[in-house]
Structure 1
Amino acid sequence: MTGTSRRPTDSRWRRWYAALMATRLTQLGAGIVVGLVALATFGPVLSPYDPTAQALLHRLEAPSLAHPLGTDQLGRDVFTRLLYGARLSLGIALVVTTVRLVLGTIVGLVAGYVGGWVDEALMRLVDTLLAFPGIVLALVIAGILGPSLTNVMVALAVVGWASYARLVRSSVLSVREREFVTASRLLGRSRAHVLGRHLVPNVVAPVVVLATLDVGSVILGTAGLSFLGLGAQPPTPEWGTMLAAGRDYLRTAWWLVNAPGVLIMLTVFGFNLLGDGLRDALSPTQSAQIEQL
């Protein structure tokens, strides 16, 4: 009996997964993301090199069997540093995106459901943040706080939650007057119950899509601020820092810039493709079709 009760849910999940993986581009994006996560998780364990250990006798060696992506100006293995940098960059992107999502969702839910002067005050704050280019505002905040990865994370989290708040608020405004929400109010349900039971499930899909697409922008922002010297500091193996260190060797050691640059591009590309696939799979039309199957 227990197995029978699980079948409709399991079948629905399988149909949703099939809808998500219906296109080659989404499959490519998912493959890139899974591959990067696997490299970040297991790659450093398999690498025989220390990402910060210097070997000046082997500095600026071209790619070879011993060093697949060559060595840098201090003799460190570039491939190993990229693997450790993947762990660092993906971890930062996950933390920053989670903070953005949670903070923006809470603000959007409160603004959309409570309304009145609360909504007006919160939305004016959101408008103020959205009036500035995100990377410029993050640059100012990181510059004031000082160069460190923690301060970069704070800066990127502060400038990014406003988009989530606006998206969640618009979703709440479209749902709060529907019949099932009105019925719940008439039954005397608390605001917390209405928010948790009826409103939050209806804003999950667009927020998840935005968060997936946002991971790429966080990685770009982290690398950009580190490239400018406001993020990770040497010898931390971070992609933006590696780009900054390799820019002086563009003509003599092309791999120092190309390797982290291509990896950043692939990471952003993979998350963007996966986000587009999630958007299509979680669209109202697609969801309705899945429910009817």
Structure 2
Amino acid sequence: MSVLEDARDGDGAGRRQVGRAIVGHLRHNPFTSAGGIIVVVLGVVAIVGPVVVPHDPTTQTLQNRLQAPSLVHPLGTDQLGRDVLARIVYGARYSLGIALLVTAIRVVIGTGVGLVAGYAGGWIDEILMRLVDIQLAFPGLVLALVVAGILGPSLRNVMIALAVVGWTTYARVVRGSVLSIREREYVAAAKLAGTPRRRLFRRHLLPNVVNPVLVIATLNLGTVILATAGLSFIGLGAQPPTPEWGTMLSDGRNHLRSAWWIVNAPGVAIMLTVLGFNLLGDGLRDALDPRQQTKLEEV
């Protein structure tokens, strides 16, 4: 039996068991630990970095343009003389903030739809799941590209586009969990006791979908950062002079041979960030449901 199933009675002992499983996996799995370290470092950089970095990310100093990495500019300068390190640090705040906000919106919408569909059943479930299926018929990034193109280029519109197209995974997973939980004895007993529906959701259903939602959300954070950078790269996201990683890649692509550091720095930042969230998400999944790890090892 998985830790996920052991904790589904919603009591404190189950939650403590989940916490111990996650901490134990972080200690004993080097890949999960590496992912956790990367995520923590990213958070520290996003919060503290702008205070420590001496250069302004938008200040243009043309006499310093295209300078190679040095003690004054550890990651060099771009074609307008802006410090690349400062832009990377400030870009971490944009990337992480957008990813957290978009993922939070996805979680709220998807979890709400999944809870209602799984608990209500019948025609309500049928209508909601058909809407989910219709949206899943389109590739997520393509649909986000269309929405962002219609709304116009800006970070706000990119966040709206990514939030609108990404909630369906949560809805399907939460619905499946609710379908397996709603017929259990303690839920049936709560219904017979006349427990209000709101309390039933809060006390018995919602705590039992937290674990799978947490895993999906962790993996989604990296995906959102990558998608945001991609949309900014093609001009639909952040606009100059905003120090966003995708915009930095777009600005530096014409100097790839003569000033490689302009592109390499944001590229490495995106790669490490996505890798960190993916490693951490995989570790959380394996800790909460070891059977998933066994299935992967058998493939």
| TM-score tier (shorter) | over 0.9
- Structure 1's 276 and 15: CA in aligned 2 closer, same or farther, altered over 3 A? closer
**Segments of 4+ in structure 1 off by > 6 A?**
6-12
Task: Tell me which of 87, 98, 104 is aligned to 2:104.
Answer: 98
- Separation (CA, whole Å) in 1 of partners of 2:197 and 2:145: 39
Give secondary structure in 2 for the equivalent of 1:80.
helix
- What is the Cα-based RMSD across aligned positions, in Å? 1.9
Contact 2:21 2:287 (C-alpha < 8 Å) held by counterparts: no
Residue 47 (structure 1) aligned with residue 53 (structure 2):
yes
Deviations 1:213-271 (A, max 9, x none): 00000001100000010000000000000000001111111111111011100000000
* Structure 2 match to 1:191: 197
- Separation (CA, whole Å) in 2 of partners of 1:142 and 1:265: 23
* Structure 2 match to 1:233: 239
* Structure 2 match to 1:75: 81
- Structure 1's 140 and 13: CA in aligned 2 closer, same or farther, altered over 3 A? closer
**Pairing of 1:18-167 with structure 2 (within 5 A):** 18-167=24-173
Contact 2:25 2:32 (C-alpha < 8 Å) held by counterparts: no
Contact 1:104 1:161 (C-alpha < 8 Å) held by counterparts: yes
Contact 2:22 2:284 (C-alpha < 8 Å) held by counterparts: no
Q: What's the offset of the Cα at 1:120? A: 0.7
- Separation (CA, whole Å) in 2 of partners of 1:10 and 1:282: 12
Q: What's the offset of the Cα at 1:18? A: 2.0
Contact 2:18 2:288 (C-alpha < 8 Å) held by counterparts: no
Q: What's the offset of the Cα at 1:16? A: 4.2
- Separation (CA, whole Å) in 2 of partners of 1:15 and 1:116: 37
| 2:123 aligned partner, one-letter code | W
Contact 1:21 1:277 (C-alpha < 8 Å) held by counterparts: no
Q: What's the offset of the Cα at 1:14? A: 4.7
Residue 221 (structure 1) aligned with residue 227 (structure 2):
yes
Contact 1:113 1:176 (C-alpha < 8 Å) held by counterparts: yes
Task: Tell me which of 177, 194, 200 is aligned to 2:206.
Answer: 200
Task: Tell me which of 258, 261, 269 is aligned to 2:275.
Answer: 269
Tell me which moved more, 15-24 or 240-249. Answer: 15-24
Contact 2:21 2:288 (C-alpha < 8 Å) held by counterparts: no
Q: What's the offset of the Cα at 1:115? A: 0.8
- Separation (CA, whole Å) in 2 of partners of 1:191 and 1:238: 44
TM-score (norm 1): 0.92
| 2:142 aligned partner, one-letter code | V
Give aligned pairs, total: 281
TM-score (norm 2): 0.90
- Separation (CA, whole Å) in 2 of partners of 1:223 and 1:8: 39
Contact 2:57 2:82 (C-alpha < 8 Å) held by counterparts: yes
- Separation (CA, whole Å) in 2 of partners of 1:219 and 1:139: 15
Tell me which moved more, 8-17 or 187-196. Answer: 8-17
Contact 1:70 1:77 (C-alpha < 8 Å) held by counterparts: yes
- Separation (CA, whole Å) in 2 of partners of 1:250 and 1:17: 42
- Separation (CA, whole Å) in 1 of partners of 2:108 and 2:55: 38
- Structure 1's 8 and 266: CA in aligned 2 closer, same or farther, altered over 3 A? closer
Give secondary structure in 2 for the equivalent of 1:21.
helix
Deviations 1:147-175 (A, max 9, x none): 00000000000000011000100110111
Task: Tell me which of 257, 262, 269 is aligned to 1:256.
Answer: 262
- Separation (CA, whole Å) in 1 of partners of 2:21 and 2:220: 26
Q: What's the offset of the Cα at 1:285? A: 6.9
- Separation (CA, whole Å) in 2 of partners of 1:9 and 1:153: 32
- Structure 1's 15 and 105: CA in aligned 2 closer, same or farther, altered over 3 A? closer
Give secondary structure in 1 for the equivalent of 2:194.
coil
- Structure 1's 11 and 123: CA in aligned 2 closer, same or farther, altered over 3 A? closer
Residue 247 (structure 1) aligned with residue 239 (structure 2):
no
- Separation (CA, whole Å) in 2 of partners of 1:8 and 1:127: 33
Contact 1:20 1:280 (C-alpha < 8 Å) held by counterparts: no
